[in-house]
Chains A and B, each alone.
Chain A
Amino acid sequence: MNAYNFAYLDEQTKRMIRRALLKGMAIPGYQVPFASREMPMPYGWGTGGVQVSAAVMTPEDCFKVIDQGADDTTNAVSIRRFFQATAGVAVTEKTAEATVIQTRHRIPERDLVEGQILVYQVPIPEPLRFLEPSEVETRKMHALEEYGLMHVKLYEDIARHGDISTSYAYPVKVEGRYVMDPSPIPKFDNPKLSMAAIQLFGAGREQRIYALPPYTEVVSLDFEDYPFQAGRADHDCDLCGADNSYLDEVITDDAGGRMFVCSDTDFCSERREAGHVGALGVEAVA
């Protein structure tokens, strides 16, 4: 324990990150550059999210990590262990108990409340990246609020697939000003982006931080005649029977067998403990 400063990063670095976070909170959706540090994990594993979590964490916090909604995947387990070792904070798998939740690709099903912080791991913070390769140009477009190009992407989707086929990292407009990439969450989660908790986004390799304060207005971009639709698989969870959660499709054999289960493992197990049973589930052991 004593070999590390609390939460791994030195105090000067945390101070620098907190300044970026405050600026991000003051200008919702604006990408604030910060001096991202090397972390003891590869880029793409959540180095940005880890730095943000380290900067906001206090010894009294209760920490939860999810990866695609699950608490038990490699990425989630190693980040949780990392902070157990370097900060000694309490950890949990319960969304309701956690004060800081680091996430990759999902927003928990349970509504977050005031006082909680949701930290996103972001691979590519720039929503215009694949439309306009020049970073100088995209920054200018953000500054001058020139977002016509974002609609070109949606236009192309409809022209080619008959519908807006972008299903994750669906661009949003924040408080009527900045267009933001909500990180690769499914567009099912987009309506939840206006929430009571603080949302912080960290991109380690790209060295950008952005943020959404509580109750920020977040609107998914669309066309008047092709309105935004949050999609989910047309199924109930096979384990807990939930009909309102985001589902993962799991292949169970090589003969076409499959099942749909909640991607949020905590949500699913809570429901099963409460006695809900899906089509392929078994009664919870009392």
Chain B
Amino acid sequence: MKDMAMTEAGLSPLLRVEGLAKRYGARIGCTEVSFDLWPGEVMGIVGESGSGKTTLLNCLAGQLAPDAGRVLFDTRGRGMVDTLTMSESERRMLGRTDWAFVHQHAQDGLRMNVSAGGNVGERLMAVGAQHYGDIRDKAIDWLDRVEIAEDRVDDRPSAFSGGMRQRLQIARNLVTGPRLVFMDEPTGGLDVSVQARLLDLLRGLVREMGLSAIIVTHDLAVVRLLADRLMVMKSGHVVETGLTDQVLDDPQHAYTQLLVSSVLQV
């Protein structure tokens, strides 16, 4: 009923996942995952290591082929399309334009032997930009937005600190104005003060650009700050979903209660 009302109002989910499952032989990667993600919404996926968070994210982003289920994305031209059955060139085109993927380790998402400007410009050139001056201006603009000084534009990421690399990776992903961002532990491996700055930056960018995002993390503080909605996973199953504050303040499932209570209070 609620869905009907929203559709009539001209709103449809950006991403609809139906019965997604991925198995590794006899073991379950993730199973029976269904949810809708609405435009402008940030969803957090939390759970311990091995709970299937990353498997799920990779299935959603088209990097792993799931065994069952559908992933419908609201494309610009054709409306809701199952990304699992679309042609590979279409899916890769999505990956360069409307989708972005932020890796946990920045070196997986960056070209380490290409300058910062080239890294940011790559997505622009991949969609056909052929004017050097424009590409460079846009790259510098984006470096500025992620708080990297303009004079570092020709330095390689190998000369950057961990936090800067992560911010560069975010700039590289957001430069083409994607509508959906997948993030895999975006703050993993960074020290707390750098984490705080990065979270601040991400929160600003997500609100400012009206991005939808799916954030996989084991860090509850990250989802508390960024996510509107939360999905808790355990052993490949979704055990609890709800608004972030609701889930964190009043956890219903035993595992969620354990997760919330195991956070150290300083």
Contacts and interface: CB of A to CB of B under 8 A. Distances in A.
Contacts of A155: 117-118, 121, 125, 132, 135-136
Interface string A124-161: 00000000000000001000111011011001101110
Interface in B134-192: 135-136, 153-154
Nearest to B87: A144
11 contacts: A146-B126, A148-B126, A151-B125, A152-B121, A155-B117, A155-B121, A159-B117, A160-B115, A222-B130, A224-B130, A225-B131
Interface of A: 140, 144-146, 148-149, 151-152, 155-156, 158-160, 222-226
Given A152-B111, A223-B131, A144 B88 contact: yes
Contacts of A224: 130-132
B133 A225 contact: yes
Interface string B89-122: 1001000100000000000000100110110011
B122 A149 contact: yes
Given A146-B92, A159-B115, A152 B125 contact: yes
A223 B114 CA distance: 18
Given A155-B132, A159-B153, A160-B115, 4 more contacts: A148-B128, A149-B122, A224-B131, A225-B133
Contacts of B64: none
A284 B123 CA distance: 58
A152 B130 contact: no
B243 interface: no
Contacts of B121: 152, 155
A22 to B, nearest CB: 27
B11 interface: no
B169 to A, nearest CB: 16
Contacts of B136: 155, 159
Q: How large is the interface on B (under 10, 10 to 19, 20 to 34, 35 or more residues)?
A: 20 to 34
Which label, helix, strand, loop or mixed, suits the secondary structure of the B interface?
helix
A221 to B, nearest CB: 9
A160 B89 CA distance: 32
Contacts of B128: 148
A151 B139 CA distance: 15
B225 interface: no
Q: Which of B96, B132, B133, B154 has the most chain A CB atoms closer than 10 A to its own CB?
A: B132
Contacts of A160: 115, 154
User: What are the 5 tightest A-B residue pairs by CB atom distance, in nearest-first order?
Assistant: A148-B126, A151-B125, A223-B132, A148-B125, A144-B89
B206 to A, nearest CB: 26
Interface in B58-91: 88-89
B127 interface: yes
A222 B132 CA distance: 9
A144 B92 contact: yes
B114 A152 contact: yes
A159 B133 CA distance: 10
B199 to A, nearest CB: 30
Contacts of A146: 92, 126
A156 B114 contact: yes
Interface string B43-57: 000000000000000
B122 A148 contact: yes
Contacts of B111: 152
Given A225-B132, A226-B132, A159 B118 contact: yes
A159 B88 CA distance: 33
Contacts of B135: 155
A155 B154 CA distance: 11
A225 B153 CA distance: 19
